[in-house]
Copies of this chain bind each other. A is one copy, B any other.
Amino acid sequence: MVKNKRVYFFGSGKAEGRGLAKDILGGKGQGLAEMSSIGLPVPAGFTITVDTCRDYYRLGRVFPTGLKEEVQTNLKRLEKTTGKTFGDAQNPLLVSVRSGAARSMPGMMETILNLGLNDVSVEGLAAKTKNPRFAYDAYRRFIQMYSTTAMGLSKEPMEELLTQTKKRLGVATDPEIPAESLKELCQEYKEYYRQNKGSPFPQDAMDQLWGAIQAVFGSWEADKAVTYRRVEKITDLTGTAVNVQEMVFGNTGDQSGTGVCFTRDPSTGKNEFFGECLINAQGEDVVAGIRTPLMLSDLGKPLPTAWKELQEVRLRLEKHYRDMQDMEFTVENGKLFMLQCRVGKRTPAAAFKMAVDMVNEKLITREEAVTRITPEDIERIFYPVIAETEEKLKEAFLGEAINAVPGAASGQIMLTAEAAETARKDGKKVILVRQETSPEDVGGMHAAQGILTATGGKTSHAAVVARGWGKCCIVGAEFLRLNFERLEMEVAGRVFKQGDWLTLDGSTGRIYAGELPLKAPILPQEYQTLMGWCDQIRQLRVRTNADSPADAVKAIEMGAEGIGLCRTEHMFFEGRERQLAIQTMIVADNEPDRRAALARLLPFQRADFEGIFTAMDGKPVTIRLIDPPLHEFTPKDEEGIAELAAVVGLDKEKVRQRVDQLHEANPMLGLRGCRLCITYPEILEMQVQAIIEAAVNVQGQGKTVFPEIMIPLTMAKKEFDILEARVRAVADPIIKAANGKLHYLVGTMIEIPRAALIADQLAERAEFFSFGTNDLTQMTMGLSRDDAGRFLPAYVDPKRAAIFDRDPFQVLDQEGVGQLVEMGIAKGRKTRPNIKVGICGEHGGELESVKFCCRLGMNYVSCSPFRVPIARLAAAQYVAVAKIKEAAKKSKPANKPAKPVVAKKAVTKPSRKPAKPVVVKKAVTKSSSKPAKSKVVKKTKSTPKPAKSKVVKKTKSARNPGRKKS
């Protein structure tokens, strides 16, 4: 690529831009160049680069110097290739102008067709095609498209003029309007344009072209496009390319047609040519739904040659791209033209099947197969879905809030955690509906099928806990009115009582009345195969965050290789007896009472650990000592206080006072984590006793146990040293008494910035580090997860403050928090080179964050069971991408030797003709008449077939350009 070259020509089996990246040509431009250069039939044209768009904005919406000259040079070349002249009266060159960013991106200006028509050349087209009606219809459509799409005029008045014309003529459909009336309509349209824009409709084809180019660039910053990029988290694109291409027409008769197809079935992934087409039609007909498209396989009868060619194209493209392609084509008078090709979207099931099949077909390597899967593919393949018709869904729809955890769930509304637990025990399905949730609700949340809260965001307590379980959760449903006295919920003007049925779709955030049927997902065999490859490829270990034997079992199913975070405090919430014991400990004002209460908890914790160790036989289990501030365990209501008062034999008032005393201004930065164990060593002693006794017991049953005891919230070396010594002082005698040889580790969380800063000191005695990136993010950024909902959305919204690309609680802030992680690892390894390092925040199951962990050389990540496969994938992709790059480097010289040379040669040509552009422009304005016969083909929208449907209905991108035989 030559520096500052802005326009790349393609056509006649060649393409200047061949081998250039999508970043330069855009996806569409790259596809056209590639298809051209491998000899597929592509109408000639040229692509204006993405960088040109970027520069256009950098200059303040001004075309960069030299662009006009390059466009004119390439237009001249296009005229030479097609034998037609742009703006000519007799033999006009008509073009389509289409946008095309590096990634498929709806919302931008799509297409302007038939550009080059004006009052004179329309006559030439009419004469050439011997079809004045076709010519004026094309002109009418061009004026309308250009006025609305490119110039921003309102569409409705133009539609109204069309309707009036039909009314005046007394006809029902557009095709019935005769040529003369269309000609009049063109006049009316132009008048409408003049009145609203203050200047006549441009008759100069060159002016039309520049207007269209400007419109494409402008659409890059259109609201719809910006919103789409935000939603899809697209941050690396800098603009869109513009593709100018000779028109071809699929609606010139029975030997013409148009269609969209996929090299494999995007729904099932089967290796079957799949698509649909229309004979004598343009894409718009499909969108309008006037005619039912044919199955692709039916193309063979009317257009046998084109069908044969298309099948060859399918094979060549898939072999060339080594991935399933989504293609658009037009047949003009029996001749096939390819208008677009790109990697096709697919369902999760299809993604797995194609990836595995292509490896079996030796089309791609296992490493490549691994990169073909996205985290969303994995997530979605697990979610249950609502099995209901659109109509019934519409009926039941109550509102839409934040889709915190995907999947669908039905159940009876319960407004308190207790009610949820009771209902669950009675065998009921429950939807827990709360204003917000707190750790006290965890039992009820666990009992529920799905969780709905009126407040909170994607990182609220409800969302985080539910995500850990892969449990359907919708949060921030501010339109809910909850009445906890009357146990009622009001929404959308309807009152629901506790016990009424509700269905949640956590994937969309939609809430439905009643019990809708759900479908469980069936995991395809290819999922297992591909995940197996991931495990072979990756170096990073993947553990899970699991707090119970059930979680542990689930996590192993999901491929976990150990537990990276077992939160012991969750065990205190399970059942009233445990709750009362921990609460008794908290309100005690002396050590003996605390020890007595802890002694009651000991058997519970030991039993829990026994269950977990048994489930994780042979795998390491990292157990974090008590972490949350004590007030999280205390009773919140009068009843709870009264019950506790009775248990501890204290005055209610006294108990309330003690509970109130635990209130903290900023509990996140208060008495929690290891500060509790420094203050109340007896808590640590009970927990370590439970862990080690459980380990010894399970070991005695022939299992292999690797406990790793983790100190949370460490901030100083001496703090850790004190607690490490206490842990060993409790653990070692138990092991000795059992004549055991239990090997256990003592390590620390790194979740306070200071801990990362002094990690070299901590590593002197800490045997492992686990980065708690949730808290580390909160403290490093001064950002409370529970409170950020009020301003963080604006911070990550590109239409608002746009301060961060992503929510730092979802994707690790590599730039800031990541520095501390990197520093912590480096310092830790400096002191103890073989220190085991992992991460156990929410980020441990997020693609980019896991890759970052790979880059930093961590030993493992730990995430919630349902995210384990994503972490496995991410870790494999990290290695796979490196291997693919390595392989590409080795094979590149042999692979495409001629390409760069061709591109370079082509580039040097325009610079030799600096004076030409002016000449071209003159030529354009002079040309006139020479009518051409052809019909207009409109666009269709293309997306992969949705999971539930068997037929691909529409395609989103432009389809059409017709081409004149000449």
Which positions in A face B, CB cutoff 8 Å? 664-671, 675, 678-679, 713, 715-716, 718-719, 722, 751-754, 757-758, 775, 778-784, 786-788, 790-791, 794-795, 801-804, 813, 815-817, 819-820
Contacts and interface: CB of A to CB of B under 8 A. Distances in A.
Given A671-B787, A787-B671, A801 B718 contact: yes
A787 B666 CA distance: 7
A716 B753 contact: no
Contacts of A775: 782
A669 B778 contact: yes
Given A678-B801, A758-B816, A801-B722, A670 B716 contact: no
Contacts of A819: 757
Contacts of A786: 664-666
6 contacts: A664-B784, A666-B668, A671-B790, A678-B801, A715-B781, A752-B780
A784 B719 CA distance: 17
Contacts of A675: 791
A779 B794 contact: no
Contacts of A722: 801, 803
A794 B681 CA distance: 13
A790 B670 contact: yes
A669 to B, nearest CB: 4
A669 B808 CA distance: 14
A758 B816 CA distance: 7
Contacts of A790: 670-671, 679
A782 B679 contact: no
- Residue among A754, A803, A820 facing the most chain B CB atoms (10 A cut-off): A754
B784 A670 contact: yes
Given A757-B820, A780-B753, A820-B757, A788 B678 contact: no
B668 A801 contact: no
**Residue in A783, A787, A790 whose Cβ sees the most chain B Cβ within 10 Å:** A787
A456 to B, nearest CB: 11
A628 to B, nearest CB: 12
Given A679-B794, A753-B779, A753-B816, 6 more contacts: A665-B668, A678-B795, A678-B801, A678-B803, A754-B817, A779-B782
A752 B679 contact: no
Contacts of A668: 665-666, 669, 782, 784
A754 to B, nearest CB: 4
Nearest to A664: B787
A816 B666 contact: no
Nearest to A663: B787
Closest 4 CB pairs of A and B: A669-B784, A670-B787, A666-B784, A754-B816
A13 to B, nearest CB: 47
Nearest to A676: B791
Contact of A802 (B713, B718, B779, B788): B718
A954 to B, nearest CB: 38
Given A782-B713, A794-B678, A820-B757, A803 B665 contact: no
Contacts of A813: 754
A496 to B, nearest CB: 23
A771 to B, nearest CB: 14
Contacts of A665: 667-668, 784, 786-787
Contacts of A666: 666-669, 784, 786-787
B667 A816 contact: no
Contacts of A791: 671, 675, 678-679
Contact of A719 (B787, B788, B801): B801
Best-surrounded residue of A665, A667, A802 (most CB of chain B within 10 A): A665
Contacts of A758: 815-816
A379 to B, nearest CB: 29
A780 B803 contact: no
Contacts of A757: 780, 815-816, 819-820
Contacts of A795: 678, 716, 719
Nearest to A455: B661
Nearest to A438: B665
Contacts of A804: 716, 718
Contact of A715 (B671, B751, B783, B787): B783
A782 B719 contact: no
A884 B722 CA distance: 41
Nearest to A804: B716
A804 B719 CA distance: 9
Nearest to A661: B790
Contacts of A670: 784, 787-788, 790
A795 B674 CA distance: 12
A716 B803 contact: yes
Contacts of A816: 715-716, 753-754, 757-758
Greatest chain B CB density within 10 A among A719, A794, A795 is at A795
A672 B48 CA distance: 46
A751 B715 CA distance: 18
A820 B782 contact: no
